[in-house]
Amino acid sequence: MGLPGRGLAGGLATTFRTMTRRSITQQYPDVSPDLPPRTRGVIALLEENCTVCMLCARECPDWCIYIDSHKETLPATTEGGRERTRNVLDRFAIDFSLCMYCGICIEACPFDALFWSPEFEYAELDIRELVHERDRLALWMDTVPPPPPLDPGAEEAKEIAAARKAVAAPAPTGDRHGEGAAR
């Protein structure tokens, strides 16, 4: 407890100081907002990577990913070889009226086919039009930013660490100590 009225004066000082500073408003439709990296705007699909494993659709808590596919048989590449089957994607759609942007599908995808894009201007007049098909999801791939650099001192991604190890010790010698030294 200081002088009486100190709190009042403090409040007045705060508002006045705020007034002399630049306001933080972003004039959105005129000026595009500067969004933080990893903004969860919309989910983009990199079709080439998708193997139709259905993990994303199964993990989605809202069941709002719709995937249709069929199997295709590829003829054998060598004489007398075995025929191979592969999945072909027929439909990939996400219903953004149900999606809660939890990002579980993106985490679950083992083939890096789903990405967060910061794009957010896809409002529709009818809620049913928020189901976006694969062509629209693929278009959004162009807006996916490169991954932000790691924080200083952060642990390297596992894949990169493994690749580095492979380069440093090319021939598997079975010598565990050598491997340790290469690190």
Q: Return the beta strands (E) in 19-132 as ranges.
A: 42-45, 65-74, 84-95, 114-117, 131-132
Instruction: Please identify, using beta-carbon distances, which residue of 7 and 110 lies nearer to another protein.
Output: 7
Dist. CA 47–CA 88, nearest whole Å: 10
Residue in 42, 60, 117, 140 binding ligand SF4, rule: CB under 6 A: 60
73 touches another protein (CB under 8 A): no
Residue in 39, 41, 97, 103 binding ligand SF4, rule: CB under 6 A: 103
Dist. CA 5–CA 178, nearest whole Å: 73
The single-letter code of the amino acid at 113 is: A
5 touches another protein (CB under 8 A): no
The single-letter code of the amino acid at 83 is: E
Among the residue ranges 21-29, 56-64, 141-149, 155-163, the one whose residues contact ligand SF4 (CB under 6 A)? 56-64
Tokens of 71: 């199997």
Q: Can you give the binding site for ligand SF4, defined by CB under 6 A?
A: 50-56, 60-62, 64-65, 67, 94, 99-105, 108-109, 111, 113-114
